[in-house]
């Protein structure tokens, strides 16, 4: 494998992640205009409008409804964004870890923070004997590193320090905030898809035949457009997550000057990463290694497109090249 420096890897992944994230609002706008165009083409176009007329009417409809749609998306985004921290803590069962309970962990985190000029994050513990960890929070007041009891007990100091450095890299690089943004956008498409599917059922009740035909066409359009948006937004979110894991691995190697320690830690984590309390995919992608079946299966073929983490073997290979 060709050697790639840490700074080069960080620059590449930052650019690609930013590009992917920018595609989310573009996707919303593009799909909204596609709906307006298809609506006029399939529902309104009874007299055979020209292409120019179709585009004109579609643009007019788009400009009328876009502020309401984008406003609703913004409100949804704000609510989900600021409620995300409490949701994550509840979904993982993580609890605050005091210095008295584990001075070793606090010393490792403090030393790394001092060396990087970072503010000390909160430290949580997950009462699970499996090995895993994640970072959460959206600002300095809420940034938190959560470690499972298993990862604290089963890793030696250099390995645990490397894992902590990986999570600190997520915080330093604003990875958690980036992932929350992408998760929220995917949630928006999921909500719209659910609303469309319910509308199909209710639209079939209590309408005349002609009304049913037009309503059915509209609802199918909404559902198809939403499904397409949801599919591509999922791919974008997964791509962001995979690239961020490589970036955090590189950051940990830079902080500790010991990339092999993280490589060894990842080998141990991959043997038992499953956190019992975690059953939500959007939460699972925040962990250093996916706490489920994906962690066991290699990423082959199209399945790799839907994976939130790159193969553990590939991550170790990259670390061993430094």
Confidence band of 261 (pLDDT split at 50, 70, 90): very high
At residue 304, the pLDDT reads 56
**Integer Cα distance of 99 and 262 in angstroms:** 24
Cα angle value 45/48/50 (rounded, 5°): 100
Residue matched to tokens 């590939």? 314
Q: Is 245 a catalytic residue?
A: no
At residue 46, the pLDDT reads 59
At residue 54, the pLDDT reads 83
**Integer Cα distance of 265 and 104 in angstroms:** 17
Positions of E strands within 115-268: 122-126, 133-136, 144-148
Q: Which has more pLDDT, 130 or 13?
A: 130
**Integer Cα distance of 252 and 65 in angstroms:** 46
By C-alpha distance, which of 98, 79, 81, 43 is closest to 213?
A: 43
**Integer Cα distance of 126 and 224 in angstroms:** 40
What pLDDT digit, counting tens, does each position of 117-128 carry? Answer: 999 999 999 999
- Tell me the chain's radius of gyration from C-alpha atoms: 23
- Asked whether the predicted pLDDT for residue 149 surpasses 90, the reply is yes
What pLDDT digit, counting tens, does each position of 196-242 carry? Answer: 556 555 544 444 445 545 666 667 777 777 777 777 777 766 766 67
pLDDT-wise least confident of 144-158, 167-181, 205-219: 205-219
By C-alpha distance, which of 21, 70, 38, 18 is closest to 233?
A: 21
What pLDDT digit, counting tens, does each position of 292-305 carry? Answer: 654 444 444 445 55
* CA distances, 69 to each of 31, 41, 44, 199, 293 (Å): 12, 21, 21, 17, 37
At residue 78, the pLDDT reads 82
At residue 212, the pLDDT reads 47
pLDDT-wise least confident of 74-88, 170-184, 209-223: 209-223
Arithmetic mean of pLDDT over the chain: 80
Confidence band of 153 (pLDDT split at 50, 70, 90): very high
At residue 155, the pLDDT reads 97
**Integer Cα distance of 113 and 108 in angstroms:** 9
- Among the listed residues 159, 161, 167, 245, the single catalytic one is 167
Confidence band of 17 (pLDDT split at 50, 70, 90): low
Q: What mean pLDDT is predicted for residues 62-68? A: 88
Instruction: Encode 244-300 in three state secondary structure.
Output: HHHHHHHHHHHHHCCHHHHHHHHHHHHHCCCCCCCCCHHHHCCECCCCCHHHCCCCC
At residue 134, the pLDDT reads 94
* CA distances, 82 to each of 23, 88, 138, 269 (Å): 22, 11, 8, 30
Greatest mean pLDDT among 3-12, 33-42, 150-159 lies in 150-159
Q: Which has more pLDDT, 224 or 158?
A: 158
At residue 295, the pLDDT reads 45
At residue 104, the pLDDT reads 96
Q: What is the DSSP letter of 275?
A: -
């Amino acid at each position: 494998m060709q050697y790639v420096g840490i700074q080069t890897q960080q620059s590449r992944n930052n650019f690609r992640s930013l590009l992917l994230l920018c595609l989310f609002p573009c996707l919303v706008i593009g799909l909204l205009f596609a709906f307006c165009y298809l609506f006029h083409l399939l529902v309104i176009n009874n007299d055979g409008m020209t292409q120019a007329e179709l585009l004109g009417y579609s643009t007019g409809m788009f400009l009328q409804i876009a502020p309401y749609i984008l406003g609703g998306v913004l409100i949804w985004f704000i609510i989900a964004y600021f409620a995300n921290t409490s949701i994550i803590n509840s979904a993982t069962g993580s609890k605050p870890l005091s210095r008295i309970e584990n001075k070793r962990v606090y010393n490792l985190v403090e030393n790394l923070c001092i060396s990087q000029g970072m503010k000390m994050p909160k430290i949580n513990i997950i009462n699970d004997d499996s090995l895993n960890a994640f970072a959460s929070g959206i600002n300095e007041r809420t940034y938190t590193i959560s470690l499972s009891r298993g990862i604290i007990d089963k890793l030696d100091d250099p390995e645990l320090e490397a894992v902590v450095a990986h999570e600190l890299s997520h915080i330093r690089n604003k990875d958690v905030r980036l992932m929350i943004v992408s998760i929220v956008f995917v949630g928006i498409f999921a909500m719209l898809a659910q609303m469309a599917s319910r509308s199909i059922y209710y639209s079939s009740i209590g309408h005349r035949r002609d009304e049913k035909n037009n309503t059915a066409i509209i609802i199918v359009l909404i559902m198809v457009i939403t499904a397409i948006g949801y599919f591509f937004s999922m791919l974008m979110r997964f791509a962001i997550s995979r690239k961020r894991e490589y970036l955090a691995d590189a950051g940990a190697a830079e902080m500790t000057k010991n990339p092999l320690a993280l490589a060894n830690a990842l080998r141990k984590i991959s043997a038992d990463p499953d956190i019992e309390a975690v059953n939500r995919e959007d939460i699972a992608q925040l962990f250093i290694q996916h706490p489920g079946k994906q962690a066991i299966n290699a990423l082959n073929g199209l399945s790799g497109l839907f994976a939130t983490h790159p193969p553990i073997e590939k991550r170790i290979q990259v670390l061993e090249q430094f």
